[in-house]
Amino acid sequence: MNNFANYAFEANTGFMFFYGMYYLLLRNETDFRKQRIFRLSGLFCSLVFPLIAIPVWVYFLAAFVALSTAGVTLSYQALKAALVNPVKSLQSD
């Protein structure tokens, strides 16, 4: 019985997440097909995702990759902006 209660809690949490995303993003959308696809895929994912066991290290790896990508992108853009000649950028405006 405890396993079922845990599954029900996780499935409802996932469903609340997808409903919140629907409410924030697609509430005023007039394309009902897009709404239906999002709702059905959210329901499917909220029922299936609690059945999949993901090790903790995967979350840390995903966070590391995301932060590394953001850091490299930010560094590249800052370096590119620092190396631009201000006279040329003012002349083009």
One domain for residues 9 and 32:
yes
One domain for residues 12 and 23:
yes
What amino acid is encoded at 82 in this protein? A
Q: Please choose, from the candidates 25, 53, 50, 49, the residue with its C-alpha nearest in 3D space to the C-alpha of residue 39.
A: 25
One domain for residues 61 and 33:
no
Q: What is the pLDDT of residue 74?
A: 96
**Structure-token match 């007039």, residue found:** 30
What is the pLDDT tens value at each position of the chain, 93 positions in all? 788 888 899 899 989 999 999 999 888 888 888 888 988 999 899 889 888 888 999 999 999 999 999 999 999 999 998 888 777 767 765
One domain for residues 93 and 71:
yes
* HEC assignment per residue over the chain: CHHHHHHHHHHHHHHHHHHHHHHHHCCCCCCHHHHHHHHHHHHHHHHHHHHCCCCHHHHHHHHHHHHHHHHHHHHHHHHHHHHCCHHHHHHHC
Q: What is the pLDDT of residue 61?
A: 95
How many domains does the structure of the chain reveal? Answer: 2
Separation of alpha carbons 87 and 1, rounded Å: 72
Q: What is the pLDDT of residue 44?
A: 92
Per the structure, the complete domain to which residue 73 belongs is given by 54-93
One domain for residues 77 and 40:
no
Q: What is the pLDDT of residue 93?
A: 53
One domain for residues 14 and 45:
yes
Q: What is the pLDDT of residue 60?
A: 95
One domain for residues 37 and 8:
yes
